Amino acid sequence: MIDYFARYISFLSFRYLAYTTTLKSMLSQLKSFSLLFALVLGPAFLGLTLLLFLGLGKIVDSHAAPAYGAKLAVVYLLLESVMLWAMAPAIKNAQNRVFQRSLFKPSWRVCVDCKLLFLSNAWLIASLLIAMDLSLKQWLQVPHFLLFMLLQWLCGVFVLYRPLALFYSFLISFVLVLLPVSLTSLQYFLGFVAIFCCSTLLPPVRISHKLKVQSFGLFWFSYFIQHSWSLIWRGAGLVALLLALLQLITIRNDFSDLIQATAFSVCVLLASSLQFDCMAVFNKYRLFFQSVNQGKLFYISHFLPSLIFFAVSLIVVISMLGTNLIYIPIGAVWCVLQQYLAQKKPAHYALVWFVITIGIMFIA
* CB 238, CB 266: distance < 8 Å: yes
Q: pLDDT of 87-116, one tens digit each? A: 888 888 877 777 776 666 777 788 888 898
CA distances from 259 to 294, 311, 343 (A): 43, 19, 29
Q: How many residues are there in the chain?
A: 364
* CB 113, CB 91: distance < 8 Å: yes
* CB 15, CB 8: distance < 8 Å: no
Q: pLDDT of 284-329, one tens digit each? A: 888 888 888 888 888 888 888 999 999 888 888 888 777 667 778 8
Q: How far is residue 280's CA from residue 282's CA, in Å, rounded to a whole number?
A: 5
The pLDDT value recorded for residue 192 is: 92
Does residue 5 have a pLDDT over 80? no
> How many helical (H) and strand (E) elements, i.e. helices and strands, does the chain have?
18, 0
Residue 74's nearest CA partner among 209, 169, 215 is 169
Q: pLDDT of 71-82, one tens digit each? A: 888 888 888 888
Does residue 212 have a pLDDT over 70? no
Give the pLDDT mean for 354-362.
80
- 3-state SS, residue 327: helix
Position 223: which residue type? Y
Average confidence score pLDDT of the chain: 80
Residue 152's nearest CA partner among 178, 125, 191 is 125
* CB 229, CB 85: distance < 8 Å: yes
The model carries a pTM of 0.75
The distance from CA 237 to its chain's CA centroid, rounded to whole angstroms, is: 5
Residue 287 CB neighbours (<10 A): 9
Residue 169's nearest CA partner among 193, 150, 147, 185 is 193
Residue 93 zone, left/alpha/beta (φ > 0; ψ -120 to 50; rest): left
